[in-house]
Structure 1
Amino acid sequence: MLDRWGSFLARRARAVLVLGLLLVIGAAVYGVGVFDSLSRGGFDDPDAEGRIEMAQEREIFGNRAADVVAIYSSDDLVADDPEFQAAVEDVVAGLPDDAVARVTPYFEAPPEAGLVSEDGHHAQVVISLQGETQDDFLDSYDEIHPLLEASADSGVEADVAGSYAVYNDVNEITSEDLERAELISLPLVVLLALLIFGSLVAASMPALVGVVAMVGALAVVRLLTTFTDVSVFAVNVISLLGIGLAIDYALFVISRFREELAALPDDDPDAARTAIRNTMNTAGRTVLFSGLTVAAALASLLIFPQMFLRSMGYGGMAAVVIAMLASLTVLPAALVLLGRRIDAGRLPWRRHRAVSVSDDHGRWARLAHAVMRRPIAVLAVTVVVLLAVASPFLGVKWGSVDHRVLPEDAPAHVAADQLREFGEETSTANVLLQGVDAAAADDYIARAEGLRDGTTAQVVAQEDDATLVHVTWPGNSQTEESQDLVRDLRDIDPEGGSALVGGLTADTVDLLDSVGAHLPWMGLIVVAVMLVLLFVAFGSVVLPIKAVAMNAFSITASFGVITWIFSDGNLTDFLGFESQGYLDATNPILMLAILFGLSMDYEVFLLSRVREQWDKTGDNDLAVATGVQKTGRIITSAALLLAVVIGAFATSGIVFMKMLGVGMLVALLVDATIVRALMVPATMKLLGGLNWWAPGPLRRWWERYGFREEPAAAVPAGDDDKIPVGA
């Protein structure tokens, strides 16, 4: 298939390139409007108990949640001073009814509500927003946020806390961080590509493919928004994978093209066409299967009910598929037209260096042979080291987003710190009792207060047979103790009726339960698809299993590192963040999907060269050493370039974005070095001929239908053959 496509490219390179560029221009025009179509919410499971409680509570009582907490402060005035109260009254009077469902200012609340600080210089206004969805609430927040500032001459300052203030800051800072990451990574990528390729023209190709991937993926995501909701965070993964995989795929294709070109006579007028056909049949095959495996891994995110996670899958799949298509169309077409001019603009110290076409005599081959002389020792040491690195993950604690994901100077973080002026931190659950009488409600309250010292419960609203109870306890809403308390509340069965428990902690419990329920299915989907695709690519049932096991080591090692850093609180000063004492439950899910795909990227590239040599010689040691030699420098270079892109995300001020960047960076470097250079040669040596084993029926099926490399066919004569290479 790819041999025929390579022949078509050789004949119609100019037409393919022109058509591709026209499609890119059209995608850019269409995709630029995607940002107005993206959702900013989607962090919850619509079918979770907490969401059901919230919906029913609002239907019966209206919205009574503390969505926004405006904190008013003055160094000179206290809350009882007329000037202070007048300034706050002016703010409350100016809040629009279409954005605000309920307002509880400190001067209308009873003293026991605790809306005035002990020193009197700080006071709260609690606001419930209008809306049905998280997007609606964020829109309402956007409308009232500018109105919460007190007049400049009042001497009263305002800070805004609450979950929607946090979400708003997360969205704004993430957008700024994304722009900064691109500004940091793109120039570094071009510079490193120049050092790797040694020529200006070759170094510009990965950037070209990266731009095509990002532009095309944004257009695809905008198209998806006409059918389903897509989170704004999809843009982050598009930037990450669009640039990252475009670099990988361009590096694979260009390196193989230069290698094939170097093996042909300089005076061969058809050298570029022959080289591109061979490149498509080898590196093109690798890119195709790599793209399919990465996309399949990301598709596993679609099984989660949280729109935020599904959107990461949509964005990632779009970026991967477009990067793959660009590397198989626009890039090879450009290479045919450039021909040997792909090396134009060589750096001075690279002008006389030939492209390496060595097999098993270089430094990477020597490393592979050294590993294969002591495979058991190498494997034992690397396994022990990686398991030790992964060990902190055994004690991981889970939570969700709160103000500590933000930088310390972020407005919502500053406001949350201001809440300490009102006493110790407390958490609240909303309990909706239905079908219970007064005695049963009192019994529920008594049992709730007996769950833990310091827990209080009180009725805040009643309507017919519905009773709304607020349960309050000391401590942060995301701790394991708070999560356990919510679970205990849900275990209380009110006599004669039902109880639904909601609130921030309940949302976290629901998230963890949802992730735990869907994670095994995600893993099953990823592993099953990988096993099938790798069998189709290599005709072995052993290598796919080995590949999954190898990838598990690099991924669990990265999980251990992020647990040690972000949950246990190490390196906080160096990385510039405040530890929450737990990991956000969604981050490892994203890392698992992305990293499993990226790990397979390098696995497919390495095994393709090993299989190529095995088919030629049938010598396992020679095949492994040759494969490592031919891919070692390229995989290391690709990992270095991708590390720059991923590492830029580690500079984010948002903790979960920083965690994603650090975790992926660790996994990438472990995978490209320890796994590919040490563990893979060691295991392939121990397995020997079993590497390529498959049961008889499967082997016969693969020999007949498998995606095997075939000798390149001659290019039929045609008008395009008269076009000089490089024209």
Structure 2
Amino acid sequence: MFERLAELAIRRSRLVLVVAVVAVALMGVLGAGAFGKLLGGGFDDPASQSTKAAKVIDDKFGGETNLVLLVRADDGRVDAPDAARSGRALVADLKKEKTLTNVVSYWDTDIPGLRSRDGREAMVLAHVTGTETEQKENATEILDAYTGDTDRGALTVEAGGGAAVGSELSKQVVDDLVLAESIAIPLTLVLLLFVFGSVVAALLPLAIAVIAVVGSFALLFLLGSVTSVADTATNLTTALGLGLGIDYALLMVSRFREQLAMGASVEDAVRRTVSTAGRTVAFSAATVAAALAALLVFPQYFLRSFGFAGVGVVAIAALSTLFVMPALLYVLGHRVNSGRLPWAKPGRSGTREPLWGRLARTVMRRPALTALPVLAVLLVAASPLLGITFGTPDERVLPKDSASREVSTALRDNFDGSEDSALNIVIDQPVSKAPLQSYATELSGLKGVVRVETSTGTYADGADTAAGPANTALGRPDAQRVNVVSSLTPKSDAAQTLVEQVRALAPPAGTHPLVGGTDAVLVDSKDSIGGRLPIAIALIALTTFVLLFLFTGSIVQPLRALLLNAVSLAATLGVMTWIFQDGSLSSLLGFTAQPMEMSMTVLMFCIAFGLSMDYEVFVTSRIKELHDQGADNETAVADGLGHTGRIVSAAAFLLAVSFFAFGTAKISFMQMFGLGSGLAVLIDALAVRGVLVPAAMRLLGRSAWYAPGFLRRFHNRFGLSEGGPEHAPAAGPAPTTTSYETNTKGVKDTTEV
């Protein structure tokens, strides 16, 4: 197959490039509409009790409260005549809006909990209708019309709640993406110039990265047209497309330049590049895609959309590298080295780097002495995981000065319980008045509950009599809704305990209440993700084991790779916990410390694992070739790292740059994703590949390549081989770096990863 790809690039190079240009143009047109197809949220399980409760409330009660307008009297109290008159006019206007339902306010209910303790502020509650996409658009229109500098008489209006947070998040995602790209692309180009020492060679990986990024937006448009895709997927696909596009192209360009330096003709250099580095790209892409595919086991569309989009972006990056890059290399030929920069050393187009070989030999002379300090540092970095806690995104992921976050803070500080974070109980069947009163009374006696609102009254402190006015909108002949408002900090341990207590409380006879609300969503999300996480980890481990076995023919190598990857990932997650949960760098990065966002943590784990396998393939491939040639274990490892070390380190720094650029984001969980993914790449490429791999290989010795006889025979028949046919270089100058080897099938090989 790879030979055919090489011949296609040689014989139809210009046609391939024309098709590529047309394809990129078409993808650009499709990708321009991607943002209109993406949704906010996606962190809840569609089959959970909280989601079912929200659906019943949507169908029968006009929806849960997702918009809270904080109305502040400009002078005096909200009960003052002018303020009250303006408040009633505001509510009347809101009730006329076609995109709002369940508009409830202090002025038309006299519910004390809707007025602040000092009497200067009041709440107006509402539900923004529509799908996730429509809610974003509708909320934005409402916010533009009713908040900010709009004239509301004696009142000032600000917006909070889920719909307002979602609207701000969508805008911030776009701003963060533009800023990250404006940092990552120029910085990446500078690093590529430094790595290659040639302007033309440096631009080639960037060209593949652009194709991958444009293709990723087209893919998001197509996916968003048929399924739910989270809006933050744009950030992931951009970082992943940019990083992997450069990563894979770096392998191809380096290999091509090495072949030219060895005296091969342009045609033979293309053939050799595709048959060797091209195979590595294909296999590496498979390992990354396998890790991302594990996200599809989760029901949350936030994670599933990253699974679909991530696998697609990896495929786009790999395919563009395998089809477009060989054609570009053939057309350019020796001009790939044009634009040589002053610091570039003649003859340094090969990939052998003595530093990495010397490092490997130093480690293997005293494997325990050199590896134990590195391992100790990684384990210390992982130690914050012992105190990790998990949450779901809320307004705190936004900057402190964002309007919706300021409203949420005011609601918690100035009111007796926040309606926005109330538990929403729905009973989807008729309930008599007396049992409903008894149920509400018991609910009001639970620790932390401020009041319970029903169609029969408002209850507090476990009293058996109504402690406030009834809200008739909460009752229907065929269903009842109960709002449990507490004074507990949203998403705290106490708030989650309250969810369990409410669900455990005996309901009216013959009924089956569904409990929803933000705290219930958190409880259900933790149960849902936690229940499926072992399945995802098992799938990742199994596919990794199988792929590495097919690649190496050993059962020890996959186990060694899984163990070392686990250590590096634990260190990365530990550092992220120390930063974002413990708040160690909150003042520097400008975020609010809070529990680790569970979905993003799982996502980061899958991506970091897949990328670490990328470098595992790069290094292990070369070591295996030398070992199969007959070199002893120490020589194979040292020379293998000597040949691949520079590529691995360069690729890691380039990939890390694209991730670290998202550390500038204003959304805290995107900061965590960017910094965590970039750190994971660097730890793996430097500490693991540079120190722990040679140490482990030295300690394992010959057993590193062990496989039972029947598996060895299976591998000989079905195993994956990177080596292709050797193409003798044309007559030319003596090669600057040579490495003649023999692969497992006895074919003379100069495979370079």
CA distance in 2, matches of 1:412, 1:523: 37
Distance 2:14 2:549 in 1: 35
Question: 2:656 maps to what in 1?
Answer: 643
Residue 375 of structure 1: how far off its partner (Å): 1.6
Question: What is the deviation of 1:263?
Answer: 1.4
Q: Which runs of 5+ in 1 are unaligned?
A: 265-269, 716-727
Contact 1:238 1:318 in 2 (8 A): no
Cα distance in 2 for partners of 1:324, 1:117 equals: 58
Q: Give the deviation of 1:76 after TM superposition.
A: 2.8
State the distance in 2 between where 1:153 and 1:584 align.
38
- Asked if 1 retains the 8 angstrom alpha-carbon contact of 2:213 and 2:237, the reply is yes
Q: Which of 364, 369, 374 pairs up with 1:377?
A: 369
Q: Could you tell me the TM-score, scaled by structure 1's length?
A: 0.92
- The residue type equivalent to 1:124 in the other structure is M
CA distance in 2, matches of 1:699, 1:17: 42
Pick closer, same or farther for the CA change 1:699–1:10 going to 2, 3 Å: farther
Partner in structure 1 of residue 732 of structure 2? none
| Alpha-carbon displacement from aligned partner over 1:173-211 (angstroms, at most 9, x marks no partner) | 111000100001100000111011111001101110011
Shift in alpha-carbon separation, 1:382–1:451, aligned structure 2, 3 A: farther
Does the CA contact (< 8 Å) of 2:258 and 2:349 recur in 1? yes
User: C-alpha displacement at 1:341, in angstroms?
Assistant: 1.4
2:341 aligned with 1:347, yes or no?
yes
Which string of whole-angstrom CA distances, capped at 9 and with x for unpartnered residues, describes residues 11-69 of structure 1? 43333333322322222233323333333343322211011112223333333x32211
Please list, as runs of the form range in 1=range in 2, the aligned pairs for 1:275-674 lying within 5 A after superposition. 275-350=269-344, 352-356=346-350, 358=352, 362-420=354-412, 422-423=414-415, 426=418, 427-433=421-427, 434=429, 437-454=432-449, 456-460=451-455, 461-464=474-477, 466-494=479-507, 495-580=509-594, 582-674=595-687
Q: Please give the alpha-carbon distance, in whole angstroms, between the structure 1 residues aligned to 2:433 and 2:109.
A: 25
Q: Give the Cα–Cα distance (whole angstroms) in 2 for the partners of residues 425 and 189 of structure 1.
A: 49
Distance (Å, rounded) in 1 between the aligned partners of 2:289 and 2:335 = 33
Whether contact under 8 Å (2:276, 2:724) holds in the other structure is no
* Secondary structure, counterpart of 1:469 in structure 2: strand
In structure 1, the residue matched to 2:60 is 60
1:238-268 CA-partner distances (Å, limit 9, x unpaired)? 101000111111111111221222112xxxx
The answer on whether the counterparts of 2:351 and 2:644 sit within 8 Å (CA) in structure 1 is no
| Alignment-mate amino acid for residue 191 of structure 1 | V
2:205/2:250 contact within 8 Å kept: yes
**1:7 deviation in Å?**
4.0
Query: CA RMSD of the aligned region, Å?
Result: 2.3
Please tell me whether the aligned partners of residues 3 and 713 of structure 1 are also in contact (alpha carbons under 8 angstroms).
no
Q: How many Å separate the matches in 2 of 1:711 and 1:658?
A: 42
Q: Which residue of 2 aligns with 1:223?
A: 222
Alpha-carbon shift at residue 508 of structure 1 (Å): 0.9
1-side partners of 2:171 and 2:360: how far apart?
48
Does structure 1 retain, via aligned residues, the 8 Å contact 2:648–2:685? yes
- State the SS of the aligned residue for 1:225: helix
Q: Show structure 1 runs of 4+ deviating over 6 A.
A: none
CA distance in structure 1 between the aligned counterparts of 2:596 and 2:555, rounded to whole angstroms: 36
Q: Is the contact made by 1:94 and 1:147 (CA closer than 8 Å) also made in structure 2?
A: no
Percent of pairs identical after alignment? 40
Deviations for 1:700-720, whole angstroms, at most 9, x for unmatched residues? 2222232213442659xxxxx
TM-score, normalised by the number of residues in structure 2: 0.89
Shift of 1:372: 0.7
Deviation at 1:576, TM superposition (A): 1.0
Partner of 1:690: 703
Q: What is the DSSP-based 3-state SS (H/G/I as helix, E as strand, rest coil) of the residue aligned with 2:114?
A: coil
User: Which residue type is aligned with residue 88 of structure 1?
Assistant: G
Contact 1:301–1:522 (CA under 8 A) maintained in structure 2: yes
- Are 2:159 and 1:145 equivalent residues in the alignment? no
More divergent stretch after superposition (175-184 vs 487-496):
487-496
Deviation at 1:439, TM superposition (A): 4.7
Matched, 1:9 2:9: yes
480-489 or 694-703, larger mean C-alpha shift: 694-703
User: Are 2:397 and 2:669, in contact at CA under 8 Å, matched by a contact in 1?
Assistant: yes
- Structure 2 portions without partners, runs of 5+: 456-473, 729-753
User: Comparing 174-183 with 6-15, which one deviates more in the overlay?
Assistant: 6-15
**Conserved? CA contact 2:88–2:108, under 8 Å:** no
Count the aligned residue pairs: 706
Q: Judging changes above 3 Å, is the alpha-carbon distance between structure 1 residues 438 and 90 closer, same or farther for their aligned structure 2 residues?
A: closer
Aligned CA distance change for structure 1 residues 358 and 393 (closer, same or farther; 3 Å): closer
Segment of structure 1 superposing worse, 688-697 or 88-97:
88-97
Q: 1:593 to 1:40 in 2, by over 3 A?
A: same
SS at match of 2:399: coil
**Greater displacement, 500-509 / 687-696:** 687-696
State the AA in 2 paired with 1:372. M
